[in-house]
Chains A and B, each alone.
Chain A
């Protein structure tokens, strides 16, 4: 990764959202949107630019579920495990995907950086449970079989 280029981008976000503490989460979100995770180089840089302790930024980054300190796959699959999806059997879908990709609750991304499998608590598509998303596109009324078909399709596309 080109660190200079990254700092230049971060400067842009700081100019847009401001350098005060209250902009921290927004700036981290912008970085994550660009890189799909928070590269470790950003912490000292942001600390200097925003006049915060590095530990404080790290604290925020690790508190919120959505921030990731590790690179994610090209396809981020989120299986909903909200209540509505759970009672309509979302767990077997998750299990099937993890089995197929050799992933688990602790290892969420395939080594080739192709797929990341995570859970999410409710996508707001509860009416059509169980639901999942691939890179934010919602797929509703899923079954383990449909998930396998989708995976196949994604692999062909990739």
Chain B
């Protein structure tokens, strides 16, 4: 148990020395993606092989390190999920991709013993081999601040966090700064909330600091509801102490002694990691009563969500922590005055808190030097969809979409054409070709009617139907509408019905106008952000892809060829062997013909289920 500042400094120094002494490391990514492709077995195998071959190896930061020992670390996610399982060799900085169990022996013999890189396991692109991680185009334009430790340290070990300088910001905030200084530093840094709204964190903190009512609370929003985003998950799983540190500092700044972390139900691993991190911090006395003898106390609690997207909204989230149905309430009063248990509350997103420690350590001016001054810092994005390099990235604010999708993301998969990118999830909208050179920051996006949102970037290629995308999001929102206010409850349902009939080829004249009218009404009258932004995907797809809506409605045609119900199937007489399998499997008897001669489909009877395509052994049934 650390009792004083000096105790902490001594322990940190020891950890840092141990960290530096053991520079030979093997890091295996054990994040969700890599673990699902067997990285845990790879880790075990590597350790086992080193033992068998008599190579000195340690699985944790050792107290008395020898220089020649290899430290095998279960690191978190370095973000390059598409190419997992990932194994990294330090200090050379080599990255091996798509590693298989059968590669382990060669890694030990060739790389660990002989010191040579294995070219065949390195990332390759356009005929070039990239052995060093830092040279890979995916990493070249990134700047990792919030995710700097993801994939670098073992998140189960508080010693490793201390070994990379962890809890220095907490120390500074406790002993070298007044609460007002902390608030001012955050205010001056222009740090803006990363949960979607982009509200100034400093302003929020100062409003809570000013409140007379006690107790006050610090709440971390780890609900990460945007489907298609997993930045917060990575922070919680791979660098939990960084987030805890940010929350404790917020507590000092605002005079709060309790912190609540609300984690999404689908992230059991994050809950486990956070629990362990809290236990470790408590055991060392970095959480609890009278932290390091400073007189300041802080206690941390975890609440697990139970599967409701709307609980990401501030007032719904606090209601859920209170054990109630997670329904938003009318504001004002605002959360800063009447938040959790009706008390003054700072509610920030995971990534927002994860930015705090580096701002406290390096100062507001340093932070403002990254990206545009009004929207500074970096932003983590989950880059997914039809892009070559999917994964987790972090770039300075103001990086363009083109850089993100084409330089980092490596362009569209399968040589297809870029069509659009969905930003901001179900509350957001799509951006197209014409926006590729737009800088990604809060203000630039706002100008074109889009939002940064939480950080999901879903890339779509030419085969994606934008009407279907709009239907998909409306289906999601309608399902998640809590039902408290009429515009959202009824309006999203009506919009979904219209979109469903359009993609099913039953769209009517006037549907587009009806969608626009509903969108307008819901946006202006819904109670909370969920309803207010629900129409976003429809409005933006209508703006940029109106012709696709029209083709569906008036020509009963899906230009992208994606909508099942608008497809027509034909049998290629040259390929058909007349086996009758398609006819036998057709649920509506739309296919007929004579054995051993080509069959044909009656388009009037056909319900476009596609069963014939799946069943044809000769590839004779085609979509037209």
Q: Footprint of B on A, CB under 8 Å?
A: 20-26, 28-29, 59-60, 63-67, 81-88, 120-129, 131, 136-141
Question: Min CB distance, B217 to chain A, in Å?
Answer: 12
- Which among B227, B320, B476 is the interface contact of A25 at CB below 8 angstroms? B320
Question: Min CB distance, A116 to chain B, in Å?
Answer: 15
**B323 contacts across to A, CB distance below 8 A:** 20-26, 60
* Bound: A86/B266 CA distance, A: 17
Interface centre among B224, B225, B228 (most CB of A within 10 A): B228
User: Once the chains bind, are A63 and B229 in contact (CB under 8 Å)?
Assistant: no
B516 at the binding interface (Cβ < 8 Å): no
Q: Which 9 A-B pairs have the closest CB atoms?
A: A127-B81, A82-B227, A83-B228, A65-B307, A64-B306, A84-B384, A66-B307, A122-B227, A124-B230
**B321 contacts across to A, CB distance below 8 A:** 22
B482, closest chain A residue (CB): A63
Q: Footprint of A on B, CB under 8 Å?
A: 32-33, 35-37, 81-82, 84, 224-230, 233, 265-268, 303-309, 320-327, 382, 384-386, 390-392, 422, 425, 456, 458, 460, 464, 469, 472-473, 476, 482
**B460 contacts across to A, CB distance below 8 A:** 87
User: Once the chains bind, are A87 and B458 in contact (CB under 8 Å)?
Assistant: yes
**A137 contacts across to B, CB distance below 8 A:** 36
* Bound: A113/B228 CA distance, A: 31
**A126 contacts across to B, CB distance below 8 A:** 228-230, 382, 384, 390, 456
* Bound: A140/B38 CA distance, A: 11
Q: How many A-B residue pairs have CB under 8 A?
A: 139
Question: Min CB distance, A131 to chain B, in Å?
Answer: 8
**B391 contacts across to A, CB distance below 8 A:** 127
* Bound: A88/B458 CA distance, A: 10
**B385 contacts across to A, CB distance below 8 A:** 83-84, 87-88, 129
User: Once the chains bind, are A127 and B392 in contact (CB under 8 Å)?
Assistant: yes
Can you name 14 A-B pairs with beta carbons within 8 Å? Answer: A64-B305, A64-B326, A66-B307, A84-B382, A88-B385, A121-B476, A124-B32, A124-B230, A126-B382, A126-B384, A126-B390, A127-B390, A128-B390, A131-B36
User: Once the chains bind, are B266 and A138 in contact (CB under 8 Å)?
Assistant: no
* Bound: A28/B324 CA distance, A: 12
- Which among B225, B325, B425 is the interface contact of A63 at CB below 8 angstroms? B325
B322, closest chain A residue (CB): A22
User: Once the chains bind, are A83 and B268 in contact (CB under 8 Å)?
Assistant: no
* Bound: A88/B472 CA distance, A: 13
User: Once the chains bind, are A64 and B307 in contact (CB under 8 Å)?
Assistant: yes
User: Once the chains bind, are A128 and B304 in contact (CB under 8 Å)?
Assistant: no
* Bound: A80/B27 CA distance, A: 29
B325, closest chain A residue (CB): A63
User: Once the chains bind, are B36 and A65 in contact (CB under 8 Å)?
Assistant: no
**A84 contacts across to B, CB distance below 8 A:** 227-228, 382, 384-385, 390, 456, 458
Question: Min CB distance, A19 to chain B, in Å?
Answer: 11
User: Once the chains bind, are B303 and A25 in contact (CB under 8 Å)?
Assistant: yes
User: Once the chains bind, are B36 and A139 in contact (CB under 8 Å)?
Assistant: yes
* Bound: A79/B516 CA distance, A: 32
Question: Min CB distance, A54 to chain B, in Å?
Answer: 15
Interface centre among B33, B265, B456 (most CB of A within 10 A): B33
B460, closest chain A residue (CB): A87
**A120 contacts across to B, CB distance below 8 A:** 266
A122, closest chain B residue (CB): B227
**B458 contacts across to A, CB distance below 8 A:** 83-84, 87
B306, closest chain A residue (CB): A64
**A141 contacts across to B, CB distance below 8 A:** 37
* Bound: A123/B472 CA distance, A: 17
- Which among A29, A124, A131 is the interface contact of B224 at CB below 8 angstroms? A124
Contact flag A60-B325 (CB < 8 Å), given A83-B228, A121-B227, A127-B384: yes
* Bound: A123/B31 CA distance, A: 12
User: Once the chains bind, are B233 and A124 in contact (CB under 8 Å)?
Assistant: yes
* Bound: A139/B458 CA distance, A: 20
User: Once the chains bind, are B266 and A123 in contact (CB under 8 Å)?
Assistant: yes
**B305 contacts across to A, CB distance below 8 A:** 64, 66
User: Once the chains bind, are A127 and B382 in contact (CB under 8 Å)?
Assistant: yes
User: Once the chains bind, are B33 and A66 in contact (CB under 8 Å)?
Assistant: no
User: Once the chains bind, are A128 and B392 in contact (CB under 8 Å)?
Assistant: no
User: Once the chains bind, are B33 and A127 in contact (CB under 8 Å)?
Assistant: yes
**A64 contacts across to B, CB distance below 8 A:** 305-308, 325-326
Question: Min CB distance, A132 to chain B, in Å?
Answer: 10
**A59 contacts across to B, CB distance below 8 A:** 325
* Bound: A20/B324 CA distance, A: 11
Interface centre among A22, A26, A85 (most CB of B within 10 A): A22
User: Once the chains bind, are B308 and A65 in contact (CB under 8 Å)?
Assistant: yes
User: Once the chains bind, are B306 and A128 in contact (CB under 8 Å)?
Assistant: no
User: Once the chains bind, are B308 and A129 in contact (CB under 8 Å)?
Assistant: no
**A131 contacts across to B, CB distance below 8 A:** 36
Given contacts A84-B385, A127-B392, 5 further A-B contacts (CB under 8 A): A23-B323, A65-B308, A84-B227, A88-B385, A131-B36
User: Once the chains bind, are B36 and A26 in contact (CB under 8 Å)?
Assistant: no
Question: Min CB distance, A61 to chain B, in Å?
Answer: 9
- Which among B33, B425, B472 is the interface contact of A128 at CB below 8 angstroms? B33
Contact flag A122-B32 (CB < 8 Å), given A88-B386, A140-B37: no
Question: Min CB distance, A101 to chain B, in Å?
Answer: 17
**B464 contacts across to A, CB distance below 8 A:** 87
**B472 contacts across to A, CB distance below 8 A:** 83, 86
- Which among B36, B265, B327, B422 is the interface contact of A83 at CB below 8 angstroms? B422
Interface centre among B36, B304, B482 (most CB of A within 10 A): B36
**A123 contacts across to B, CB distance below 8 A:** 32, 266
Question: Min CB distance, B483 to chain A, in Å?
Answer: 9
* Bound: A141/B386 CA distance, A: 13
A138, closest chain B residue (CB): B36
**A67 contacts across to B, CB distance below 8 A:** 306-307
Question: Min CB distance, A143 to chain B, in Å?
Answer: 13
Question: Min CB distance, A8 to chain B, in Å?
Answer: 23
User: Once the chains bind, are A83 and B227 in contact (CB under 8 Å)?
Assistant: yes
